[in-house]
Structure 1
Amino acid sequence: MTALPTPGVSVLVVDDEPHIGRIIRTRLEQDGFVVHLAEHGAEALSLLDQEPSVSLLVLDLMLPGMSGIEILRVIRADTRWRALPCIVLTAAGQDAQLRDAEGLGVSEIMTKPFSPRRLLARVREYTATGPNSVDLPLTT
């Protein structure tokens, strides 16, 4: 059974490709999520400070300036965000980056191009609470 989101659950999407951010935001907002978009690391960290109720991070690894791995290191070092679920979306096939992401406790890695429907299902499951929520294994 797929868990349904709690209305108003916040998701932070970090991707430097505006059209990808818009696709994700549109799909998640249609499902009742509140979506915050950032195109680079400093903006993402600032949004997390401003929106402490963010329940999930959707993160690209290949970003200008601060990489997704660097963002994850900052997040995992901060007790406020250490347990924040994170779905990595990446076109990068670089094994070292993916191993680093796994070592930093990402919840899941999805490769681009991705299915917006599958992403929505995973976002629902990682943000669900109550009897329908599930613990999901890390998958690539």
Structure 2
Amino acid sequence: MTGPRVLVVDDNDALRENVAECLEGEGYAVDLAGGGAAALELLEHEPLPAVIILDLMMPGMDGGALAAAIRADPRWAGIRLVITTGLSVSRVRELPVDAVLMKPFGVDELLAVLKRVGA
């Protein structure tokens, strides 16, 4: 049985791959995108994820802009958004996300936040 689908959006290749490996080891189905535009493209063509883990600081479309674009489209209303950042939580308080995961984070924190948002 495959667990919930998670889309990991981060411009850091190594971090993206590490998160994917951890999640796949826990039974999640994982898709990867290197930035906001790639994530929106996947949402148009792939099975929809239950959760998107998105980095706040990315070149081009950052995590805040991506979160706003996802929330603006009613097709994606049920997707839970978890933003990752090394910045102060106060910098992301106004973003339309379901949870904030502070960097650096470990597997336990990652899995706990996914459970908290219902994945």
Q: Same fold (TM over 0.5)?
A: yes
Cα displacement string for residues 21-51 of structure 1 (whole angstroms, at most 9, x for unaligned residues): 1111000001111111111111010111112
Secondary structure of the equivalent of 1:99? coil
1:108 maps to which of 93, 99, 104: 99
Q: How many residue pairs align between the two structures?
A: 119
Runs of 4+ in 1 over 6 A off after TM superposition: none
Name the structure, 1 or 2, with higher relative contact order (CA <8 Å, separation 6+). 1
Offset from partner CA, 1:59-78 (integer Å, 9 cap, x none): 10101101111101110000
Unaligned runs of 5+ in 1: 1-5, 129-140
- CA distance, structure 2, for counterparts of residue 98 and residue 125 of structure 1: 18
Secondary structure in structure 2 of the residue aligned to 1:54: coil
CA shift for structure 1 position 125:
4.4
What's the offset of the Cα at 1:124? 3.7
CA distance in 1: counterparts of 2:65 and 2:13, whole angstroms: 20
Gaps of 5+ in 2: none
Residue type matched to 1:43 in 2?
A: A
Question: Over the residues paired in the alignment, what is the CA RMSD in angstroms?
Answer: 1.7
Describe how 1:1-140 pairs up with structure 2 within 5 A.
7-93=2-88, 95=90, 97-101=91-95, 104=96, 106-128=97-119
Contact 2:101 2:113 in 1 (8 A): no
Q: Take 1:92 and 1:51, find their aligned partners in 2: how far apart are those partners?
A: 31
Q: Distance in 2 between matches of 1:94 and 1:33?
A: 27
Aligned to 1:135: none
C-alpha distance in 2 between matches for 1:54 and 1:108: 16
TM-score (norm 1): 0.77
TM-score of the superposition, structure 2-length normalised? 0.89
For 2:118 and 2:42, how far apart are their aligned partners in 1? 18
